[in-house]
Amino acid sequence: GQIPTIMKVNSSNSLAAGGSAPTQAITGSVSEALRLGCSAIGFTIYPGSDAAFDMMGTFQDMAAEAKALGLAVVLWSYPRGGGLSKQGETALDIAAYAAHMAALLGAHIIKVKPPADALEQPEATSVYQATGLPRSTLAERVNHIM
């Protein structure tokens, strides 16, 4: 059988100067994905980055084009930048919000990093404590953000 191929249409640059807002450059297109026989396009956004809104807008445009042409859309939603700590990038409350943002943007498939048993936002901490949401195992945390 054939293995479905996803064309990643944006990419980061690990050689970029530090201190700039986390973002990605467009490195592919929907037309290229079709020409190559891909089944989907893939895109990464960084909720929390100063560039997040631009990334989301670009994703929306490319996703609409891909969907209109019958391609699936995969979205990697990786929080970083802004006021997030390194631990906060995978904190349960932040990972849940990243998944939520990806769903709102209309992704068919959503990829987030496995959520840690940590909370980043003080407001979220009180809510999670009050609800008693089970979160001690990875399975419980993944179940929560899905």
Instruction: Name the residues annotated as catalytic.
Output: 78, 111
Which pair of tokens denotes residue 38?
Answer: 């891909």
User: What is d(CA 3, CA 17) in angstroms, rounded to the nearest whole number?
Assistant: 37
The CA-to-CA distance between both ends of the chain, in Å, stands at 30
CB within 8 A of 127, min separation 6: which ones?
A: none
Phi and psi, residue 109, nearest 5°: -125, 135
CB atoms within 10 A of CB 145: 18
Sort residue 37 into left (φ over 0), alpha (ψ -120 to 50) or beta.
left
Where is 110: in which H helix or E strand? strand 109-111
